Structure 1
Amino acid sequence: MMGAVAETIRRKLEAAFSPSALELVDDSDRHHGHAGHTGAGESHFNLRIESQAFAGKTRVMRQRMVMHALAEELAGPVHALSIHASAPGDA
């Protein structure tokens, strides 16, 4: 079951990129004692997203596209987001 932050992230990514694959993992528990960890969860995430929107874009451009779509969450509850963004057919 996903929390409110994860649901918001998923909804925004689906609206922005119409992904063919999307995997979002709340990794907050692994960061106990680290900066940004509040104990409430939903502060650290791993994201794997595949979308045609990333075709022809560099890795940095893809990450910036995702960060732009999630600017509000990254300025607030999300302390860390690991992003793996690919286009269909990428190796």
Structure 2
Amino acid sequence: MSVATLIERKVFDAVPVAHFELENESHKHSVPPNSETHFKLVLVSESFTGMMPVRRHQLLYKVLADELAGPVHALALHTFTVEEWTARGGEVTQSPDCLGGSKHDPEFKA
């Protein structure tokens, strides 16, 4: 089963979902082709009402702990209530392309 499918199943099992988008952004980073290491999750749920953004993220980190401890290197979270999502017009900003920084690059300095 793909990492994306695991993430989707766990999120849908954890919270009532009004809107869900999961984008594999691994191709924007210094990883092998067809990797599943970098994701952007847009999640709209009524369960976020009254919850600060950091608490929403903590909830999802707990739900996705196994994936974050293993194959997922980065997870960009965009979490909204239905009202927040509607006020935004149903849009989030695009993620920037990776600027490099791989420890395997000759110019990388830790």
The corresponding residue for 1:87 is 81
**2:41 and 2:78 in contact (8 A); partners too:** yes
Off by >4 Å, runs of 4+ in structure 1: none
User: Which structure is larger by alpha-carbon Rg, 1 or 2?
Assistant: 2
Aligned residue pairs total: 85
**What is the 5 A alignment of 1:1-91?**
4-32=2-30, 37-90=31-84, 91=87
Letter in 1 for 2:26: S
Letter in 1 for 2:3: V
Ranked by relative contact order (alpha carbons within 8 Å, sequence separation 6 or more), the top structure is 1
User: Displacement of 1:28 after TM fit?
Assistant: 0.2
**1:48-86 residue CA offsets vs partner (Å, 9 max, x unmatched):** 000111110111111111111100000000000000011
User: Any idea what SS the aligned residue of 2:72 has?
Assistant: coil
Distance 1:41 1:26 in 2: 9
Query: Where do 5+ consecutive residues of structure 1 fail to align?
Result: none
TM-score (norm: length of structure 2): 0.73
TM-score (norm: length of structure 1): 0.87
Instruction: Give 1 or 2: higher helix fraction.
Output: 1
Distance 1:20 1:50 in 2: 5
